Protein backbone atom coordinates (compact mmCIF):
# COMPACT_ATOMS: atom_id res chain seq x y z
CA UNK A 1 0.00 0.00 0.00
CA UNK A 2 1.31 3.44 -0.87
CA UNK A 3 2.26 5.71 2.01
CA UNK A 4 0.22 8.85 2.75
CA UNK A 5 3.25 10.92 1.72
CA UNK A 6 3.49 9.26 -1.70
CA UNK A 7 -0.26 9.60 -2.23
CA UNK A 8 -0.04 13.30 -1.42
CA UNK A 9 2.91 13.84 -3.76
CA UNK A 10 1.29 12.00 -6.66
CA UNK A 11 -1.73 14.33 -6.48
CA UNK A 12 0.37 17.43 -7.08
CA UNK A 13 0.62 19.00 -10.54
CA UNK A 14 4.00 18.48 -12.26
CA UNK A 15 4.97 22.15 -11.94
CA UNK A 16 4.65 21.94 -8.15
CA UNK A 17 7.22 19.12 -8.01
CA UNK A 18 10.04 21.17 -9.49
CA UNK A 19 12.68 23.25 -7.72
CA UNK A 20 12.57 26.54 -9.57
CA UNK A 21 15.76 28.55 -10.23
CA UNK A 22 14.11 31.81 -9.13
CA UNK A 23 10.67 33.32 -8.61
CA UNK A 24 10.40 34.41 -12.24
CA UNK A 25 10.11 30.75 -13.17
CA UNK A 26 6.83 30.73 -11.23
CA UNK A 27 5.27 33.04 -13.83
CA UNK A 28 2.71 31.22 -15.96
CA UNK A 29 1.21 27.72 -15.75
CA UNK A 30 -1.72 29.08 -13.73
CA UNK A 31 -4.62 26.77 -12.80
CA UNK A 32 -7.95 26.42 -14.60
CA UNK A 33 -10.82 25.95 -12.14
CA UNK A 34 -14.42 24.91 -12.81
CA UNK A 35 -17.13 27.27 -11.53
CA UNK A 36 -19.69 25.20 -9.62
CA UNK A 37 -22.22 27.58 -8.05
CA UNK A 38 -22.48 30.95 -9.78
CA UNK A 39 -23.25 29.30 -13.12
CA UNK A 40 -26.07 27.22 -11.63
CA UNK A 41 -27.68 30.22 -9.94
CA UNK A 42 -27.60 32.03 -13.29
CA UNK A 43 -29.22 28.96 -14.95
CA UNK A 44 -26.41 28.68 -17.49
CA UNK A 45 -26.31 25.53 -19.59
CA UNK A 46 -22.62 25.70 -20.53
CA UNK A 47 -19.50 24.96 -18.50
CA UNK A 48 -17.76 27.99 -16.94
CA UNK A 49 -14.03 27.76 -16.24
CA UNK A 50 -11.88 30.34 -14.46
CA UNK A 51 -8.24 30.86 -15.48
CA UNK A 52 -6.74 31.97 -12.15
CA UNK A 53 -4.01 34.39 -13.20
CA UNK A 54 -3.51 35.57 -9.63
CA UNK A 55 -1.42 32.41 -9.10
CA UNK A 56 1.42 34.13 -10.99
CA UNK A 57 4.50 35.06 -8.93
CA UNK A 58 3.44 38.57 -7.90
CA UNK A 59 -0.28 37.92 -8.07
CA UNK A 60 -1.55 38.97 -11.51
CA UNK A 61 -1.53 38.26 -15.23
CA UNK A 62 0.77 41.27 -15.69
CA UNK A 63 3.75 39.21 -14.50
CA UNK A 64 3.72 37.53 -17.88
CA UNK A 65 4.18 40.76 -19.84
CA UNK A 66 6.70 42.24 -17.39
CA UNK A 67 8.97 39.24 -17.79
CA UNK A 68 8.51 39.09 -21.57
CA UNK A 69 9.10 42.82 -22.14
CA UNK A 70 12.33 42.81 -20.11
CA UNK A 71 13.71 39.62 -21.65
CA UNK A 72 12.87 40.71 -25.20
CA UNK A 73 14.50 44.13 -24.61
CA UNK A 74 17.61 42.45 -23.20
CA UNK A 75 17.79 40.07 -26.17
CA UNK A 76 18.08 42.94 -28.65
CA UNK A 77 20.48 44.96 -26.48
CA UNK A 78 18.03 47.73 -25.71
CA UNK A 79 18.50 47.49 -21.92
CA UNK A 80 21.09 46.10 -19.53
CA UNK A 81 21.19 45.59 -15.73
CA UNK A 82 21.86 48.89 -13.98
CA UNK A 83 19.58 50.85 -16.32
CA UNK A 84 16.38 52.52 -15.13
CA UNK A 85 13.01 51.04 -16.11
CA UNK A 86 10.06 53.44 -15.99
CA UNK A 87 6.49 52.28 -16.45
CA UNK A 88 3.14 54.10 -16.32
CA UNK A 89 0.69 51.58 -14.93
CA UNK A 90 -2.50 50.95 -12.97
CA UNK A 91 -0.35 48.98 -10.53
CA UNK A 92 -0.14 45.32 -11.51
CA UNK A 93 2.26 45.78 -14.42
CA UNK A 94 4.38 47.89 -12.11
CA UNK A 95 4.42 45.16 -9.48
CA UNK A 96 5.41 42.55 -12.04
CA UNK A 97 8.07 44.83 -13.49
CA UNK A 98 9.40 45.72 -10.03
CA UNK A 99 9.72 42.01 -9.24
CA UNK A 100 11.63 41.32 -12.47
CA UNK A 101 13.77 44.45 -11.95
CA UNK A 102 14.65 43.35 -8.43
CA UNK A 103 15.73 39.92 -9.70
CA UNK A 104 17.75 41.28 -12.62
CA UNK A 105 19.32 44.40 -11.10
CA UNK A 106 17.43 47.33 -12.63
CA UNK A 107 16.30 50.57 -11.03
CA UNK A 108 12.50 50.75 -11.30
CA UNK A 109 10.30 53.87 -11.28
CA UNK A 110 6.53 53.46 -11.40
CA UNK A 111 4.04 56.23 -12.18
CA UNK A 112 0.45 55.41 -11.29
CA UNK A 113 -2.86 57.24 -10.75
CA UNK A 114 -3.85 58.19 -7.21
CA UNK A 115 -7.01 56.05 -7.30
CA UNK A 116 -4.92 52.89 -7.21
CA UNK A 117 -5.00 51.04 -3.92
CA UNK A 118 -2.53 51.68 -1.10
CA UNK A 119 -1.82 47.96 -1.05
CA UNK A 120 -0.34 48.18 -4.56
CA UNK A 121 1.82 51.14 -3.54
CA UNK A 122 3.16 49.35 -0.47
CA UNK A 123 4.01 46.22 -2.46
CA UNK A 124 5.82 48.31 -5.08
CA UNK A 125 7.86 50.01 -2.37
CA UNK A 126 8.67 46.68 -0.75
CA UNK A 127 10.03 45.45 -4.10
CA UNK A 128 12.31 48.49 -4.24
CA UNK A 129 10.40 50.54 -6.81
CA UNK A 130 10.21 54.31 -6.64
CA UNK A 131 6.62 55.59 -6.78
CA UNK A 132 5.19 58.74 -8.33
CA UNK A 133 1.42 59.25 -7.95
CA UNK A 134 -0.51 61.21 -10.58
CA UNK A 135 -4.02 62.72 -10.62
CA UNK A 136 -6.67 60.15 -11.49
CA UNK A 137 -8.62 62.81 -13.37
CA UNK A 138 -5.69 63.74 -15.64
CA UNK A 139 -6.30 62.95 -19.32
CA UNK A 140 -3.99 60.25 -20.67
CA UNK A 141 -2.20 62.68 -23.00
CA UNK A 142 -1.73 65.50 -20.47
CA UNK A 143 1.73 66.22 -18.99
CA UNK A 144 0.31 65.49 -15.52
CA UNK A 145 -0.92 61.97 -16.34
CA UNK A 146 0.97 58.84 -15.34
CA UNK A 147 1.96 58.48 -18.99
CA UNK A 148 3.05 62.12 -19.32
CA UNK A 149 5.16 61.99 -16.14
CA UNK A 150 6.84 58.76 -17.28
CA UNK A 151 7.81 60.32 -20.62
CA UNK A 152 9.27 63.37 -18.87
CA UNK A 153 11.36 61.20 -16.55
CA UNK A 154 12.65 59.15 -19.46
CA UNK A 155 13.86 62.33 -21.15
CA UNK A 156 15.53 63.62 -17.98
CA UNK A 157 17.26 60.49 -16.61
CA UNK A 158 20.29 58.77 -18.18
CA UNK A 159 19.89 55.18 -19.39
CA UNK A 160 16.16 55.32 -18.69
CA UNK A 161 13.66 53.26 -20.67
CA UNK A 162 9.88 53.04 -20.88
CA UNK A 163 9.12 49.51 -22.01
CA UNK A 164 5.59 50.82 -22.64
CA UNK A 165 3.00 48.10 -22.13
CA UNK A 166 0.54 50.14 -24.23
CA UNK A 167 2.56 49.79 -27.45
CA UNK A 168 5.08 47.00 -26.82
CA UNK A 169 4.41 43.93 -29.01
CA UNK A 170 5.87 41.76 -26.26
CA UNK A 171 2.67 42.44 -24.30
CA UNK A 172 0.26 40.50 -26.54
CA UNK A 173 3.02 38.02 -27.48
CA UNK A 174 3.32 36.98 -23.83
CA UNK A 175 -0.32 35.88 -23.96
CA UNK A 176 -0.16 34.50 -27.52
CA UNK A 177 2.76 32.23 -26.63
CA UNK A 178 1.85 31.63 -22.98
CA UNK A 179 -1.67 32.19 -21.66
CA UNK A 180 -3.46 31.05 -24.83
CA UNK A 181 -1.38 27.89 -25.14
CA UNK A 182 -2.14 27.03 -21.52
CA UNK A 183 -5.87 27.51 -22.13
CA UNK A 184 -5.73 25.18 -25.14
CA UNK A 185 -3.76 22.55 -23.20
CA UNK A 186 -6.01 22.72 -20.13
CA UNK A 187 -9.18 22.55 -22.23
CA UNK A 188 -7.88 19.85 -24.61
CA UNK A 189 -8.33 22.30 -27.48
CA UNK A 190 -12.07 22.76 -26.87
CA UNK A 191 -12.96 26.40 -26.15
CA UNK A 192 -16.21 28.04 -27.28
CA UNK A 193 -15.96 31.44 -25.56
CA UNK A 194 -13.30 33.43 -23.71
CA UNK A 195 -14.16 36.47 -21.56
CA UNK A 196 -11.36 38.94 -20.80
CA UNK A 197 -11.23 42.27 -18.98
CA UNK A 198 -9.57 44.84 -21.26
CA UNK A 199 -7.01 47.40 -20.15
CA UNK A 200 -3.98 47.77 -22.38
CA UNK A 201 -5.56 45.07 -24.54
CA UNK A 202 -2.51 42.82 -24.59
CA UNK A 203 -4.21 39.94 -22.82
CA UNK A 204 -7.29 39.80 -25.03
CA UNK A 205 -5.35 40.46 -28.26
CA UNK A 206 -2.75 37.76 -27.62
CA UNK A 207 -5.26 35.16 -26.44
CA UNK A 208 -7.73 35.94 -29.23
CA UNK A 209 -5.15 35.73 -32.01
CA UNK A 210 -3.92 32.29 -30.96
CA UNK A 211 -7.34 30.84 -30.17
CA UNK A 212 -8.84 32.01 -33.46
CA UNK A 213 -6.02 30.18 -35.21
CA UNK A 214 -6.74 26.96 -33.32
CA UNK A 215 -10.50 27.28 -32.66
CA UNK A 216 -11.94 29.38 -35.52
CA UNK A 217 -15.46 29.45 -34.04
CA UNK A 218 -14.41 30.72 -30.60
CA UNK A 219 -16.25 33.84 -29.39
CA UNK A 220 -13.99 36.48 -27.84
CA UNK A 221 -15.76 38.77 -25.35
CA UNK A 222 -14.09 41.99 -24.16
CA UNK A 223 -15.10 43.51 -20.82
CA UNK A 224 -14.97 47.32 -20.53
CA UNK A 225 -16.12 49.33 -17.48
CA UNK A 226 -18.57 52.19 -17.75
CA UNK A 227 -16.50 55.38 -18.01
CA UNK A 228 -14.01 53.77 -20.42
CA UNK A 229 -14.18 54.10 -24.21
CA UNK A 230 -12.63 50.83 -25.40
CA UNK A 231 -15.83 49.02 -26.37
CA UNK A 232 -17.37 48.87 -29.83
CA UNK A 233 -19.69 50.01 -31.26
CA UNK A 234 -18.90 53.46 -29.91
CA UNK A 235 -22.47 53.93 -28.67
CA UNK A 236 -21.81 51.33 -25.96
CA UNK A 237 -19.56 53.89 -24.26
CA UNK A 238 -22.18 56.63 -23.99
CA UNK A 239 -23.38 55.74 -20.49
CA UNK A 240 -21.14 57.53 -17.94
CA UNK A 241 -18.64 58.32 -20.72
CA UNK A 242 -15.25 59.33 -19.26
CA UNK A 243 -16.73 59.46 -15.75
CA UNK A 244 -14.48 58.14 -12.95
CA UNK A 245 -14.88 54.50 -11.96
CA UNK A 246 -13.35 52.56 -9.09
CA UNK A 247 -12.59 49.14 -10.56
CA UNK A 248 -8.87 48.96 -11.25
CA UNK A 249 -6.83 47.48 -14.08
CA UNK A 250 -9.36 47.64 -16.91
CA UNK A 251 -10.63 50.43 -19.15
CA UNK A 252 -8.97 53.56 -20.55
CA UNK A 253 -9.80 56.94 -22.03
CA UNK A 254 -7.73 56.13 -25.16
CA UNK A 255 -7.18 53.14 -27.41
CA UNK A 256 -3.81 51.47 -26.65
CA UNK A 257 -1.73 50.43 -29.66
CA UNK A 258 -1.55 46.77 -28.60
CA UNK A 259 -5.33 46.43 -28.47
CA UNK A 260 -6.60 44.84 -31.68
CA UNK A 261 -10.34 45.37 -31.43
CA UNK A 262 -10.87 43.50 -34.70
CA UNK A 263 -10.21 40.29 -32.75
CA UNK A 264 -13.06 40.98 -30.30
CA UNK A 265 -16.42 39.52 -31.31
CA UNK A 266 -18.54 41.04 -28.56
CA UNK A 267 -18.16 43.72 -25.89
CA UNK A 268 -19.81 43.78 -22.48
CA UNK A 269 -19.94 46.97 -20.40
CA UNK A 270 -19.86 46.59 -16.62
CA UNK A 271 -20.38 48.94 -13.68
CA UNK A 272 -18.55 49.14 -10.37
CA UNK A 273 -21.38 47.76 -8.27
CA UNK A 274 -21.91 44.54 -10.22
CA UNK A 275 -18.15 44.05 -10.52
CA UNK A 276 -17.44 44.29 -6.79
CA UNK A 277 -20.48 42.26 -5.79
CA UNK A 278 -19.49 39.51 -8.21
CA UNK A 279 -15.92 39.56 -6.85
CA UNK A 280 -17.31 38.98 -3.38
CA UNK A 281 -19.50 36.18 -4.72
CA UNK A 282 -16.49 34.52 -6.36
CA UNK A 283 -14.76 34.60 -2.99
CA UNK A 284 -17.73 33.43 -0.94
CA UNK A 285 -19.34 30.94 -3.33
CA UNK A 286 -16.34 29.60 -5.26
CA UNK A 287 -13.42 30.22 -2.90
CA UNK A 288 -11.58 32.23 -5.56
CA UNK A 289 -9.66 35.09 -3.95
CA UNK A 290 -9.75 37.42 -6.93
CA UNK A 291 -9.83 41.19 -7.46
CA UNK A 292 -12.42 43.66 -8.72
CA UNK A 293 -11.68 43.37 -12.44
CA UNK A 294 -12.17 39.60 -12.12
CA UNK A 295 -15.65 40.32 -10.79
CA UNK A 296 -16.29 42.47 -13.85
CA UNK A 297 -15.16 39.64 -16.13
CA UNK A 298 -17.37 37.07 -14.40
CA UNK A 299 -20.40 39.39 -14.34
CA UNK A 300 -19.94 39.90 -18.09
CA UNK A 301 -19.44 36.17 -18.63
CA UNK A 302 -22.74 35.33 -16.94
CA UNK A 303 -24.51 37.53 -19.48
CA UNK A 304 -22.48 36.53 -22.54
CA UNK A 305 -22.51 32.80 -21.82
CA UNK A 306 -26.31 32.71 -21.65
CA UNK A 307 -26.21 32.11 -25.42
CA UNK A 308 -24.10 28.94 -25.06
CA UNK A 309 -25.60 25.46 -24.91
CA UNK A 310 -24.95 22.34 -22.88
CA UNK A 311 -21.60 20.84 -23.78
CA UNK A 312 -20.05 24.20 -24.64
CA UNK A 313 -17.33 25.86 -22.61
CA UNK A 314 -16.62 29.43 -21.53
CA UNK A 315 -13.24 30.45 -20.07
CA UNK A 316 -13.08 33.58 -17.88
CA UNK A 317 -9.76 35.26 -17.11
CA UNK A 318 -9.42 36.22 -13.41
CA UNK A 319 -6.60 38.75 -13.60
CA UNK A 320 -5.50 39.49 -10.04
CA UNK A 321 -6.07 38.69 -6.39
CA UNK A 322 -7.74 40.15 -3.31
CA UNK A 323 -4.33 41.15 -1.91
CA UNK A 324 -4.49 44.57 -3.57
CA UNK A 325 -7.95 45.46 -2.29
CA UNK A 326 -8.10 44.66 1.42
CA UNK A 327 -9.23 48.21 2.26
CA UNK A 328 -11.57 48.49 -0.72
CA UNK A 329 -14.28 46.09 -1.93
CA UNK A 330 -13.36 43.46 0.70
CA UNK A 331 -14.23 46.01 3.39
CA UNK A 332 -17.93 46.15 4.32
CA UNK A 333 -17.72 49.80 5.35
CA UNK A 334 -16.13 50.76 2.01
CA UNK A 335 -18.87 48.94 0.11
CA UNK A 336 -21.50 50.69 2.21
CA UNK A 337 -19.98 54.14 1.83
CA UNK A 338 -19.80 53.75 -1.94
CA UNK A 339 -23.39 52.44 -2.11
CA UNK A 340 -22.32 49.10 -3.61
CA UNK A 341 -23.35 47.02 -0.64
CA UNK A 342 -25.43 43.91 -1.29
CA UNK A 343 -28.23 42.83 1.05
CA UNK A 344 -26.25 39.87 2.35
CA UNK A 345 -23.70 42.19 3.96
CA UNK A 346 -25.44 45.35 5.18
CA UNK A 347 -28.36 47.42 4.03
CA UNK A 348 -28.08 51.09 4.90
CA UNK A 349 -30.54 50.57 7.78
CA UNK A 350 -28.73 47.51 9.14
CA UNK A 351 -25.34 49.21 8.98
CA UNK A 352 -26.61 52.28 10.83
CA UNK A 353 -28.30 50.01 13.35
CA UNK A 354 -24.98 48.24 13.90
CA UNK A 355 -23.34 51.58 14.71
CA UNK A 356 -26.22 52.66 16.94
CA UNK A 357 -26.37 49.38 18.85
CA UNK A 358 -22.84 49.85 20.14
CA UNK A 359 -24.23 51.87 23.01
CA UNK A 360 -23.11 55.32 21.88
CA UNK A 361 -25.67 57.89 23.00
CA UNK A 362 -24.85 60.27 20.17
CA UNK A 363 -25.22 57.84 17.24
CA UNK A 364 -28.77 58.83 16.29
CA UNK A 365 -28.08 62.57 16.46
CA UNK A 366 -27.98 64.45 13.16
CA UNK A 367 -24.99 66.22 11.66
CA UNK A 368 -26.86 69.51 12.20
CA UNK A 369 -26.17 69.27 15.98
CA UNK A 370 -22.48 69.93 15.30
CA UNK A 371 -23.42 73.51 14.37
CA UNK A 372 -20.68 73.72 11.78
CA UNK A 373 -19.85 77.19 10.45
CA UNK A 374 -20.04 77.84 6.74
CA UNK A 375 -16.57 76.84 5.57
CA UNK A 376 -13.95 78.89 3.82
CA UNK A 377 -13.70 77.75 0.21
CA UNK A 378 -11.43 78.36 -2.74
CA UNK A 379 -12.27 78.61 -6.45
CA UNK A 380 -10.68 76.08 -8.82
CA UNK A 381 -8.61 78.77 -10.58
CA UNK A 382 -6.92 79.99 -7.36
CA UNK A 383 -3.18 79.35 -7.29
CA UNK A 384 -1.68 76.69 -5.05
CA UNK A 385 0.34 79.42 -3.30
CA UNK A 386 -2.82 81.39 -2.48
CA UNK A 387 -4.54 78.24 -1.22
CA UNK A 388 -1.62 77.55 1.11
CA UNK A 389 -1.83 81.12 2.46
CA UNK A 390 -5.55 80.64 3.13
CA UNK A 391 -4.88 77.39 4.99
CA UNK A 392 -2.15 79.03 7.06
CA UNK A 393 -4.36 82.01 7.91
CA UNK A 394 -7.29 79.88 9.11
CA UNK A 395 -5.32 76.91 10.41
CA UNK A 396 -7.05 74.50 8.04
CA UNK A 397 -5.67 71.20 6.73
CA UNK A 398 -8.14 71.05 3.86
CA UNK A 399 -10.37 73.40 1.87
CA UNK A 400 -13.37 72.67 -0.34
CA UNK A 401 -12.94 73.71 -3.97
CA UNK A 402 -16.19 75.33 -5.11
CA UNK A 403 -17.08 76.59 -8.59
CA UNK A 404 -18.84 79.83 -9.48
CA UNK A 405 -22.24 78.15 -9.01
CA UNK A 406 -21.46 77.10 -5.44
CA UNK A 407 -21.12 73.40 -6.36
CA UNK A 408 -18.38 71.42 -4.64
CA UNK A 409 -15.84 70.13 -7.17
CA UNK A 410 -13.54 68.50 -4.65
CA UNK A 411 -11.16 69.13 -1.78
CA UNK A 412 -7.58 70.36 -1.67
CA UNK A 413 -5.53 69.11 1.29
CA UNK A 414 -2.27 70.29 2.76
CA UNK A 415 -0.88 66.76 2.45
CA UNK A 416 -1.61 66.52 -1.27
CA UNK A 417 -0.26 70.03 -1.87
CA UNK A 418 2.98 69.11 -0.12
CA UNK A 419 3.31 65.87 -2.08
CA UNK A 420 2.60 67.47 -5.44
CA UNK A 421 4.82 70.53 -4.91
CA UNK A 422 7.75 68.64 -3.42
CA UNK A 423 7.76 66.14 -6.29
CA UNK A 424 7.61 68.90 -8.91
CA UNK A 425 4.32 67.72 -10.35
CA UNK A 426 2.81 71.17 -9.84
CA UNK A 427 4.15 74.67 -9.30
CA UNK A 428 3.06 77.28 -6.79
CA UNK A 429 1.44 79.25 -9.59
CA UNK A 430 -0.66 76.32 -10.85
CA UNK A 431 -4.40 76.39 -10.08
CA UNK A 432 -5.65 74.28 -7.18
CA UNK A 433 -7.86 72.27 -9.53
CA UNK A 434 -4.62 70.47 -10.52
CA UNK A 435 -4.34 69.04 -6.98
CA UNK A 436 -8.02 68.64 -6.14
CA UNK A 437 -9.41 65.34 -4.91
CA UNK A 438 -12.61 64.69 -6.82
CA UNK A 439 -13.59 61.67 -4.74
CA UNK A 440 -14.68 62.70 -1.25
CA UNK A 441 -17.24 61.64 1.33
CA UNK A 442 -20.44 63.67 1.41
CA UNK A 443 -23.18 63.94 4.04
CA UNK A 444 -26.15 66.25 4.66
CA UNK A 445 -27.35 67.98 7.82
CA UNK A 446 -29.86 65.12 8.17
CA UNK A 447 -27.24 62.37 8.09
CA UNK A 448 -26.71 60.59 11.41
CA UNK A 449 -23.54 60.95 13.45
CA UNK A 450 -23.28 57.15 13.15
CA UNK A 451 -22.92 57.60 9.41
CA UNK A 452 -20.34 60.34 9.96
CA UNK A 453 -18.37 58.16 12.39
CA UNK A 454 -18.31 55.40 9.78
CA UNK A 455 -16.79 57.79 7.28
CA UNK A 456 -14.20 58.85 9.85
CA UNK A 457 -13.09 55.23 10.20
CA UNK A 458 -11.31 55.88 6.89
CA UNK A 459 -11.41 59.60 6.03
CA UNK A 460 -10.34 62.68 7.97
CA UNK A 461 -13.22 64.88 6.82
CA UNK A 462 -16.57 64.91 5.03
CA UNK A 463 -18.28 67.61 3.01
CA UNK A 464 -21.69 68.66 4.33
CA UNK A 465 -23.79 69.55 1.29
CA UNK A 466 -27.38 70.45 0.60
CA UNK A 467 -29.54 68.28 -1.63
CA UNK A 468 -28.77 70.47 -4.64
CA UNK A 469 -25.01 70.05 -4.17
CA UNK A 470 -24.26 73.41 -2.56
CA UNK A 471 -21.72 73.35 0.26
CA UNK A 472 -23.04 73.82 3.78
CA UNK A 473 -20.12 72.77 5.94
CA UNK A 474 -16.97 70.74 6.40
CA UNK A 475 -17.01 68.13 9.17
CA UNK A 476 -13.79 66.74 10.63
CA UNK A 477 -12.96 64.13 13.23
CA UNK A 478 -12.25 66.84 15.77
CA UNK A 479 -15.74 68.31 15.23
CA UNK A 480 -17.33 64.99 16.14
CA UNK A 481 -14.93 64.42 19.03
CA UNK A 482 -15.63 67.88 20.46
CA UNK A 483 -19.38 67.26 20.35
CA UNK A 484 -19.09 63.86 22.03
CA UNK A 485 -16.88 65.14 24.83
CA UNK A 486 -18.67 68.45 25.47
CA UNK A 487 -22.35 67.59 25.00
CA UNK A 488 -24.49 65.72 27.53
CA UNK A 489 -26.83 62.81 27.08
Q: For residue range 92-136, what is the model confidence (pLDDT) as tens digits?
A: 999 999 999 999 999 999 998 876 778 888 999 999 999 988 877
- Please indicate, yes or no, whether residues 186 and 228 belong to a single structural domain of this protein: yes
Number of domains in the chain: 3
Q: Identify the top-confidence range among 42-56, 376-390, 454-468.
A: 42-56
Q: At what angle do helices 449-456 and 477-486 cross, to 10 degrees?
A: 130
Assess whether pLDDT exceeds 70 at residue 348. no
Domain annotation covers residue 180: yes
- Please indicate, yes or no, whether residues 142 and 197 belong to a single structural domain of this protein: no
Assess whether pLDDT exceeds 90 at residue 181. yes
Q: Identify the top-confidence range among 18-27, 312-321, 393-402.
A: 312-321
pLDDT score recorded for residue 265? 99
Give the Cα-Cα-Cα angle 294, 295, 301 (nearest 5 degrees): 90
Domain annotation covers residue 419: yes
- Please indicate, yes or no, whether residues 112 and 134 belong to a single structural domain of this protein: yes
- pLDDT class of 9 with cuts at 50, 70, 90: very low
pTM: 0.74
Q: What stretch of H or E contains 134?
A: strand 130-134
- Please indicate, yes or no, whether residues 44 and 140 belong to a single structural domain of this protein: no
CB 94 within 8 A of CB 110: yes
Domain annotation covers residue 184: yes
- Please indicate, yes or no, whether residues 312 and 178 belong to a single structural domain of this protein: yes
Among the ranges given (158-162, 212-216, 363-367), the one the predictor scored with the smallest mean pLDDT? 363-367
pLDDT score recorded for residue 12? 46
- pLDDT class of 353 with cuts at 50, 70, 90: low
Express as a percent the part of the chain with pLDDT over 70: 91
pLDDT score recorded for residue 457? 73
Domain annotation covers residue 269: yes
- Please indicate, yes or no, whether residues 396 and 267 belong to a single structural domain of this protein: no
Q: Distance (Å, rounded) from C-alpha 129 to C-alpha 85?
A: 10
Task: Assign residue 425 the CATH number of its domain.
Answer: 3.10.580.10
DSSP β-ladder status, 471-476 and 461-465: antiparallel
Domain C-terminal end among 305, 325, 345: 325
pLDDT score recorded for residue 343? 44
Assess whether pLDDT exceeds 50 at residue 8. no
Q: Where are the beta strands (DSSP E) in 231-301?
A: 266-270
- Please indicate, yes or no, whether residues 180 and 269 belong to a single structural domain of this protein: yes
Domain annotation covers residue 4: no
pLDDT score recorded for residue 334? 81
Domain annotation covers residue 112: yes
- Please indicate, yes or no, whether residues 289 and 361 belong to a single structural domain of this protein: no
Task: Assign residue 88 the CATH number of its domain.
Answer: 3.40.50.1100
Q: Identify the top-confidence range among 47-51, 164-168, 420-424.
A: 47-51
SS3 43: coil
Neighbours of 423 (CB within 10 A): 12
Q: Which residue has the higher pLDDT, 356 or 18?
A: 18
Domain C-terminal end among 127, 162, 197: 162
Q: Residues with catalytic annotation?
A: 62
Q: Distance (Å, rounded) from C-alpha 172 to C-alpha 259?
A: 8
- Please indicate, yes or no, whether residues 283 and 377 belong to a single structural domain of this protein: no
Among the ranges given (127-136, 220-229, 279-288, 453-462), the one the predictor scored with the smallest mean pLDDT? 453-462
Domain annotation covers residue 257: yes
Q: Distance (Å, rounded) from C-alpha 212 to C-alpha 189?
A: 11
Domain C-terminal end among 309, 325, 341: 325
Nearest CA among 359, 313, 355, 364 for reference residue 336 = 355
Among the ranges given (60-64, 356-360, 465-469), the one the predictor scored with the smallest mean pLDDT? 356-360
pLDDT score recorded for residue 349? 52
CB 340 within 8 A of CB 272: yes
- Please indicate, yes or no, whether residues 129 and 186 belong to a single structural domain of this protein: no
Q: At what angle do helices 384-394 and 414-422 cross, to 10 degrees?
A: 140
CB 199 within 8 A of CB 251: yes
In the chain, the N- to C-terminal Cα span, in Å, equals: 73
Q: Which domain holds residue 184?
A: 20-58+172-325
Express as a percent the part of the chain with pLDDT over 90: 60
- Please indicate, yes or no, whether residues 83 and 208 belong to a single structural domain of this protein: no
Q: Distance (Å, rounded) from C-alpha 206 to C-alpha 99?
A: 23
Domain annotation covers residue 298: yes
Assess whether pLDDT exceeds 80 at residue 425. no
Q: Which residue has the higher pLDDT, 271 or 132?
A: 271
- Please indicate, yes or no, whether residues 203 and 297 belong to a single structural domain of this protein: yes
What is the average pLDDT value for the chain, to the nearest integer? 88
pLDDT score recorded for residue 1? 42
Amino acid sequence: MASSASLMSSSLPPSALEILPNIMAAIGRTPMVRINNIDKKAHLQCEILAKCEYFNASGSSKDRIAKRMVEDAEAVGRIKPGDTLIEPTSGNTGIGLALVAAMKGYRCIITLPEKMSLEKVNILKALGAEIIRTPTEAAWDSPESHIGIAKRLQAELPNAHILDQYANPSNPLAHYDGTAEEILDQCDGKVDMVVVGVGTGGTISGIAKKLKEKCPDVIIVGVDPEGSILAQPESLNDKNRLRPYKVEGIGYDFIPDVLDRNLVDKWEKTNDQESFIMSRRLIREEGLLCGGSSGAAMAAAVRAASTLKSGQRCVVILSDSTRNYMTKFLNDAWMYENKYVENSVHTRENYSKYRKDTGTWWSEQRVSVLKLPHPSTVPPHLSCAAAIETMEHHGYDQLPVVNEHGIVQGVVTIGNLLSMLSSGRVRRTDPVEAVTFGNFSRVTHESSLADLATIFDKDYFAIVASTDGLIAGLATRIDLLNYITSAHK
